[in-house]
């Protein structure tokens, strides 16, 4: 005979199988399921299996959200990303110059007149705690677009 907790868990899985979220519709359905479950009873009333299901669904939703944010960031030019990161930290071009070793280069990077070098990319990624690939996205395209 199946334990009641296992039965409850299997009902959750049948109602909304935990699988990678790839579309906005999948995301909406997963978020709705998550809200409905969390609001259904107090946290201390969930079985261990229900908590596991909620944790997995939460991870899937967060993963989708992170991929969406990364996709939005990938569409930006390195100068846009750099300005955003600087704004978040209240940095000036002079501050950035200290990070990369040249105020002139920092000004050119921020204004999109220069693409970051490999050395700049590594220093920026380390300083801001981000993946270096953020600064590779569109690298060189701002100068190409300007015809320089």
- One DSSP character per residue, 6-70 reads HHHHHHHHHHS------SHHHHHHHHHHHHHHHTTS-GGGS-HHHHHHHHHHHHHHHHHHHHHHH
pLDDT for 86:
95
Q: What angle do CA 49, 24, 10 make, to 5 degrees?
A: 20
Span 16-26, average pLDDT: 91
pLDDT for 136:
81
C-alpha 118/C-alpha 122 separation (Å) is 6
Please write the tens of the pLDDT for every residue from 90-145. 999 999 999 999 999 999 999 999 999 999 999 999 999 988 888 885 433 333 33
- pLDDT band of 1, cuts 50, 70, 90: very low
pLDDT for 144:
35
């Amino acid at each position: 005979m199946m334990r009641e907790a296992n039965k409850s868990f299997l009902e959750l899985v049948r109602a909304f199988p935990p699988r990678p979220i790839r579309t906005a519709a999948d995301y909406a359905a997963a978020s709705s399921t998550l809200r409905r479950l969390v609001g259904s009873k107090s946290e201390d009333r969930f079985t261990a299996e229900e908590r596991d299901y909620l944790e997995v669904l939460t991870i899937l939703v967060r993963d989708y959200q992170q991929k969406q944010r990364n996709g939005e960031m990938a569409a930006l030019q390195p100068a846009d990303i750099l300005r955003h990161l600087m704004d978040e930290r209240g940095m000036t071009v002079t501050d950035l110059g200290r990070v990369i070793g040249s105020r002139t280069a920092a000004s050119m990077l921020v204004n999109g007149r220069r693409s970051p070098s490999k050395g700049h990319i590594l220093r920026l990624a380390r300083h801001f705690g981000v993946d270096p690939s953020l600064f590779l996205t569109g690298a060189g395209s701002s100068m190409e677009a300007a015809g320089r």
